[in-house]
Amino acid sequence: METLYVICVGVVTFCGVFLCLRGRTFSVVVGLTLLSYAVNLFLFSSGRLHLDGAAILGMSEKYADPLPQALVLTAIVIGFAMIAFVVILSMRARADLGNDFVDGREPPDDEKLLKPRRGRL
């Protein structure tokens, strides 16, 4: 179970980081969302993974650490609010700046830059 869990968290983190490095706000927002999912899973596992364990003492033979569950709950709420904010912000940026690039301007078009020089040569 641990191996599967680790691979899942790793893949989600990888995708999140990859998307965060893209140039357009949409993919960055999706990347941030994936990253926050990965971090919630990771935080949850910091109390070790248990099957059939209640978080309350005396309710079952085995018990799970309740603190990471509380931490994850807080982190989910905060993460959700932040994602909502960044979605609204990127829509505002799209309206204000006229494009959806993170830098607020389109990257220079390589072909257009190079062609006249070649022509002169």
Partner 1 sequence: MSQHLPILPILIPMIGGLLLLLPPFTGPEKYQFRRVASILLIVLQLVCAVVLLQNVSYGGAIMYAVGDWQPPFGIILYVDLLAALLVCLTSFLGLGILLYSLAGDDREGKYFHPLIHFQLLGIYGAFLTNDLFNLFVFFEVLLIASYTLLIHGGGKQKTAANVHYVILNLIGSSLFLFALGTLYGTLGTLNIADMSLRVSQISESEQLIAQAGASLLLIVFGLKAAMLPMHFWLPNVYGVASAPVAALFAIMTKVGVYCIFRVYTVIFGEQAGNLSNIVEPWIWPLAILSIIVGTIGALASPNLRALIGNLVIVSVGTLLITFAIRTPEATAAGLLYLIHSTLITGALFLLADLLGQQRGKAFDYFVVARKIGQQKVAGICFLIAAMAVAGLPPFSGFLSKLVILQSAIGTAEKVWVWSVLLLSSLMAIIALSRAGTTLFWRYTTPTKENEETNASNWQLAGVFVLLTASPLLVLFGAPLIQLTSDAAAQLHDLPLLIEVMNFNGDMP
Contact status: 42 vs partner 1 (CB under 8 A): yes
Q: Running DSSP on this structure, what letter comes out for residue 54?
A: B
Contact status: 12 vs partner 1 (CB under 8 A): no
Contact status: 32 vs partner 1 (CB under 8 A): yes
- Enumerate residues 68-87 that contact partner 1 by CB under 8 A: 68, 71, 74-75, 78-79, 81-82, 85-86
Contact status: 10 vs partner 1 (CB under 8 A): no
Contact status: 103 vs partner 1 (CB under 8 A): yes
Backbone dihedral region of 106: left (phi > 0), alpha (psi from -120 to 50 degrees) or beta?
beta
Candidate residues 7, 10, 14, 46; the one interacting with partner 1 per rule CB under 8 A: 46
Using an 8 Å Cβ cutoff, are 17 and 39 in contact?
no
Q: Is the dihedral of CA 110, 112, 117, 121 positive or negative?
A: positive
